[in-house]
Amino acid sequence: MPEVRAATTEPIVRLTSVSVQYGKQWALRDVGVEFPPGAVGLLGPNGAGKSTMLKALLAFVKPDQGRMHVFGFDVARSPLEIRARIGYMPESDAHIPGMNAVSFVAYCGQLAGLPAVDAMQRAHEVLYYVGLGEARYRNIETYSSGMKQRIKLAQALVHDPDLLFLDEPTNGMDPKGREDMLELVRDLAHNKGVNLILSSHLLPDVEYTCDHVVVLNRGTVATAGPIETLKGRRGQVYELRIKGERAEFVEVLRQEGIDCHLTDEDVMRAFVPDGRGAQALFELASRHRVQVRHLKPSVPTLEDVFARALGEE
Amino acid sequence: MPIHDQSYRRYRGGKEKPGAAWVVIATAGIVSTIRKRKFLGLLLFAWLPFFIRAVQIYIASSYPQASMLKPTAQTFRDFLGQQQMFVFFITIYAGAGLIANDKRANALQIYLAKPLGRAEYVGGKLAILACFLLLVTWVPGILLLFVEMAFSGSATFIKSNLTLIPSITVFSFLSVLLASFTMIALSSLSKSSRFVGIMYAAVTFFSDANFEALRHVLRTTSISWMSVPALLEQMGDVIFRQPPRYDTPWPISLLVILALVGVSALVLERKVRGVEVVT
């Protein structure tokens, strides 16, 4: 039976006008956003400011302006109280040298305040949970990339945090490992009641594991909200492949009020407003002498939300 | 169907309040260092002078003909002076990797994402090194006093040298403070423990060689403050109420030691961070 934590609708993380500058470069610029309980994806291209936001919330980086609150605590004033309730899985490889997995995870538990015996017991439990049960007595330095990702998740979980920060958790994993990791993250969020913020540039990862999303672009919030709401706010979506100048046709569609963007495989995704349908696409194609080679109704995806948010930026 | 579902469970036990993590860091560091056989050998070797002094005290107490071997305050000063060589080697062996290895493995972000501050992290690392260094300075120094009392069968020596216990304590702690802080600061500057060890040795030898060269040119020892080993020698003489071996006023030597500790603390404040920002 899932162990669900005390339900609350209050935001667990709140940023108010937060700006972070590295030299002359703004990593975050006047960011104001709230993270509801549950699983929230922090989405954006590389360099959008996702990791900086997590590091600012952990008080690794001091914002040049603005306030941040986690569980109602001010990050600037009560970083230790906040970190006692947070588990952080960093993006880069990170471990404590010279330790095997179980010692490392137990040590992390003790650092987070668990008594030694409890920390060791929890270490065994979370290592089994993340799938490293059989390899728990091996030195971490001998682990593969995928195993190192799992051990980072284990150390973040050992003290039973109320909120997990996962920074690119599927980085460097093979397809099977990635699938397993996403399954773990989804299980934590949906069956174990752990709140989490998953920072990723991979749309499918966020779409599979999260209920809400915050899209960052160039240090600002491009869009935020429940994924279903963001996906469902437009009319019918069509996948379209044409013979002709794609970029020009995209422009034509946009001028006609049909939002459209190109994907990787020469496929255009067009958002036709309610009441117009596929006929509108054929008419426009005919008028501009473009041959439609493929037209298929589709469903809105997070990729559409992302493309639209970044397009508006 | 599995017999036992190895799933994630909530933790229902108690947690320590923030502030005790430095003990966890220190304990883990001490245990992992002492498990290394080479280091254990070095520690045992560092106790060799203690046993030699103990034999000296035994002979002086047992045989009136060997009265010239009787311990004085100078004996204890000399003993701690000899131990400085072991302080040097232990500092390099146990201290060089303390922060450098964590930086190499990106462990700082793991530590500092837990409920512990940077001061607590540094405190834990300092405690590891300080513990080993006190084990080869203060502990044998104080033990020697008890050995003297045991062999002579009276507390006459301690009573007539009442300042010895505070002298051993102050000198040991001063040398440990200087060695620990400078080594930890150097360790925070690099990801290579080997490089840190070389840097520490270079600073020690270069500062001393510089002083030795200049003292012959200038024909004065008032510049002994520029040598790290000479700083401690000068302070050791003053603390044990022996005639100072250099012309440098002791407050200057003390000030330089405190300045080195201060600079080390400043370096640690800048370099021990969850994320290193390069702009």
Closest by CA to A119, choosing from A102, A106, A137, is A106
Q: At B249, list the tokens.
A: 């006023």
Distance from CA of A273 to the nearest CA of B (A): 45
Coil, strand, or helix at residue A193? coil
Stretch B240-262: mean pLDDT:
95
Closest by CA to A149, choosing from A174, A119, A121, A120, is A174
Q: Does B149 touch chain A (CB under 8 A)?
A: no
Predicted pLDDT of residue A4: 46
Q: Residue A195: list chain B partners with CB under 8 A.
A: none
Q: Tell me the pLDDT tens digit for each residue of B193-230.
A: 999 999 999 999 999 999 999 999 999 999 999 999 99
Task: Please state whether beta strands A259-262 and A212-217 pair in parallel, antiparallel, or not at all (unpaired).
Answer: unpaired
Q: Tell me the pLDDT tens digit for each residue of B148-160.
A: 999 988 889 999 9
Q: At A54, list the tokens.
A: 């997590």
**Mean of pLDDT over chain A:** 89
Closest by CA to A160, choosing from B148, B206, B3, B14, is B14
Contact B102 A128 (CB under 8 A): no
How far is Cα B167 from Cα B141, in angstroms, rounded to an integer?
A: 10
How far is Cα B37 from Cα B60, in angstroms, rounded to an integer?
A: 35
Q: Tell me the pLDDT tens digit for each residue of A294-311.
A: 888 887 777 777 777 776
Position A264 confidence tier, pLDDT thresholds 50, 70, 90: low
Predicted pLDDT of residue A275: 74
Domains by residue range for chain A, with CATH: 13-230 (3.40.50.300), 233-312 (3.30.70.100)
How far is Cα B96 from Cα B194, in angstroms, rounded to an integer?
A: 7
Stretch B255-277: mean pLDDT:
93
Q: Tell me the pLDDT tens digit for each residue of A130-187.
A: 999 889 999 999 999 999 999 999 999 999 999 999 999 998 889 999 999 999 999 9
Q: How many percent of chain A have pLDDT more than 90?
A: 59
Predicted pLDDT of residue A306: 76
Q: Residue B17: list chain A partners with CB under 8 A.
A: 113
Q: How far is CA A187 from the centre of its chain?
A: 15
Q: Tell me the pLDDT tens digit for each residue of B38-56.
A: 999 999 999 999 999 999 9
3-state secondary structure A237-281: EEEEEEECCHHHHHHHHHHCCCEEEECCCCCEEEEECCCCHHHHH
How far is Cα B18 from Cα A81, in angstroms, rounded to an integer?
A: 8
Contact B10 A114 (CB under 8 A): no
How crowded is the C-beta side of A196, counted as CA atoms within 13 Å? 34
**Mean of pLDDT over chain B:** 93
**Interface test with chain A among B4, B110, B269, B277, by most A beta carbons within 10 Å:** B110
Contact A118 B11 (CB under 8 A): yes
Predicted pLDDT of residue B64: 85
Stretch B63-69: mean pLDDT:
86
Predicted pLDDT of residue B3: 52
Size of interface A-B (CB pairs under 8 A): 120
Predicted pLDDT of residue A204: 86
**Who has greater pLDDT, A196 or A237?**
A196
Number of Cβ within 10 Å of residue A5's Cβ equals 12
Position B120 confidence tier, pLDDT thresholds 50, 70, 90: very high
Contact B107 A22 (CB under 8 A): no
Predicted pLDDT of residue A5: 55
Contact A129 B6 (CB under 8 A): yes
Nearest to B6 among A80, A118, A133 (CB): A133
Amino acid symbol at A88? Y
* pLDDT tops 90 at residue B142: yes
Q: Would you kindly state where each structural domain of chain B is located, as residue ranges?
A: 21-271
Distance from CA of A104 to the nearest CA of B (A): 10
**Interface test with chain A among B3, B109, B125, B271, by most A beta carbons within 10 Å:** B109
Q: At B262, list the tokens.
A: 């201060």
Q: Answer whether A165's CB lies under 8 Å from A87's CB.
A: yes
* pLDDT tops 50 at residue A2: no
Q: Tell me the pLDDT tens digit for each residue of A241-250.
A: 888 888 888 8
**Who has greater pLDDT, A303 or A28?**
A28
Q: Answer whether A48's CB lies under 8 Å from A218's CB.
A: yes
Stretch B85-100: mean pLDDT:
97
A109-118, A175-184, A252-261: least confidently modelled range: A252-261
Contact A94 B107 (CB under 8 A): yes
Contact B16 A98 (CB under 8 A): no
Q: Answer whether A239's CB lies under 8 Å from A49's CB.
A: no
How far is Cα B13 from Cα A158, in angstroms, rounded to an integer?
A: 12
Position A44 confidence tier, pLDDT thresholds 50, 70, 90: confident
Contact B109 A88 (CB under 8 A): yes
Q: At B126, list the tokens.
A: 């300092």
Stretch A215-230: mean pLDDT:
89
Q: Answer whether B163's CB lies under 8 Å from B72's CB.
A: no
Predicted pLDDT of residue A261: 80
Predicted pLDDT of residue B264: 98
**Who has greater pLDDT, A46 or B245?**
B245
Position A1 confidence tier, pLDDT thresholds 50, 70, 90: very low
B153-181: b (≥16 Cβ within 10 Å) or e = eeeebeeebeebeebbbbbbebbbbbbbb
Predicted pLDDT of residue A273: 81
Distance from CA of A38 to the nearest CA of B (A): 16
Sequence-separated (6 or more) residues with CB below 8 Å from residue B159:
none
Reported pTM: 0.86
Closest by CA to A42, choosing from A190, A222, A193, A254, is A222
Coil, strand, or helix at residue B13? coil
